[in-house]
Structure 1
Amino acid sequence: MVRFLTFITLVLGLAAPAMAQQKANTLFGAMRAGSSGNTGAIGTYAKGCIDGAVELPETGPTWQAMRLSRNRNWGHPDLVAFLQRLSVTATRQGWAGLYIGDMGQPRGGPMTSGHQSHQMGLDADVWMLPPKRLNLSRSERENLSSISVRTDDQTRVNANWTPAHYNIMKAAALDPAIDRIFVAAAVKVEMCKTAKRSDKKWLQKIRPLYGHNFHFHVRLKCPTGSAVCQTQSPTVSELSKGGDGCDDSLNWWVTTYLDQLRNPPKPKPGQKPAKPKRGSRDYTMEDLPRQCQNVLASR
């Protein structure tokens, strides 16, 4: 490890032109432990890193981290604390606790597979599967799967959805550390139906997003002391304008959006295909905030 870190330092400090061609996800994916700097989230959720990340213990009294082979149970101390207190909330709903999916890498940054975000230690996936026990072996954590809480046509929740899911996500949304929570559109629709009319403002933090039917994705605000952390824009407060997100914009997700997925528009004659967007797995170190070079080189 010492030799590898020395190599990284030399590359960062002496070979900037070569570094421009090196994929950032390869470099960050090779890190097995957090950096030694002062704790701070750096950059944005989809283009950043984290200094001084801490590891969520693999097993606790009310949680277990899943898919340990990925080494993605790292994050800002505020994220770890949030997940621990949310797992206690889950026990009040009759669950044994929570199964925690991907958080971030030891130093954040782009990943070699999966997420485009989860880069600065402020994102985590929480499984929809209610834990029955919290003594799963490493092998069981690799092979156990979560459950989907929406129908195959993506328009409604299915029989796996329970009041406990609603109450746990509501508690998460009411936590002052949370910026937003991503869920399948059908889940947001159901939560809007369930919430009392006089108590729906918190629902603005529940944001519909494709692919979030096996887990819900929590995202924290920029923590105090993270001077170069950029909160997602527009912010939830800017989006809400006093609303709850249970309006026509939500209906779009289960009507127009689904139609577009099932029947993508055909290109017009002679029209060139749209150029694919450059994803985080294509980033080099030059794409990330300059502070991330120090995070990568730190012992």
Structure 2
Amino acid sequence: MSLAPYVRILGRGPGRARSLDQNEAREAMEVILSGNAAPEAIGALLMLMRMKGETAAELAGFVQAARSHIKLSSLSPALDWPSYAAGRTRGLPWFLLSAKLVAQAGYPVLLHGWNSHQANHADVRDGCAALGVQIAPDLSTANKALSCAGITYLPLEVLSPPLFALLQLRNSLGLRSCINTVVRLLNPCATDASVQGVFHPVYREIQADASALLGQQSLSVIKGGGGEFERHPSKDVAAFGLRDGTAWQGKAVAQLDEIRRLASVEPDPSDLAALWAGHLDDPFAQAVVEGTAALALDTLGVAHPDSRARDLWTNRHRKKAA
């Protein structure tokens, strides 16, 4: 099989070129993941899509093909939480504490991701290590961590080596591609509830539309810290997504008057564990954690998510969160 028919559809020229439909996109990604596509054709396809702008149908088709190449039937998280931000504009990944709160509330969380350009910034995996969140080297370990701790981080290179290789093409092409959005939409276990962060606001709607085509039931997408699903407590946050499979929009109002950037000059991953343990007093960071957890709980259909998140934080050191 060849990518030529799909490159031809995208690149015929003004007045003749068009976007791929969902089935065509799925077929094209199947060719890529089969290993039979010429690297030149892969680059041409991805850059043509970047030039015109990817559609929700194209993204949904790519995700369908990617899911069919991933075997995660043994994993059963309640919440899918992708983490693929570039990291250049953010500091500590406080959202990891939010994910821990959600897991302690009885909703297993599957974190998965890859974070590049992390020089002078706190890596998400460093944060996981500081908090004792298992970074799974294989699917069996991920399954055990979900069962025992209710949370795990599955690296993209473990989850799907072919998708990881496609994401790494940014180093050769010099530009992001639609694969950066595909991995956010991946939800490899087809979990009913998912949260997603974006850096560019325009992607909030297209990711919600693509998720609807994929049959997603509950989804919250926000412009978060550095592109992660992380709520800034001093700003009103617009949320887009799905509830019961239908389009939804929400708004989280500012919690604090303090104006502060999420990034710090020299972030120290040990501060994550210190805040969790109660050794660090940082009301702003605590507000980030509680506010982000509240949005995730709302996605899961939890009643009164703001007060629930506050209660979870207050009782986080009990064996079973209240």
TM-score by length of 1: 0.29
Q: Larger relative CO (CA 8 A, sep 6+): 1 or 2?
A: 1
Per residue, is there more helix in 1 or in 2? Answer: 2
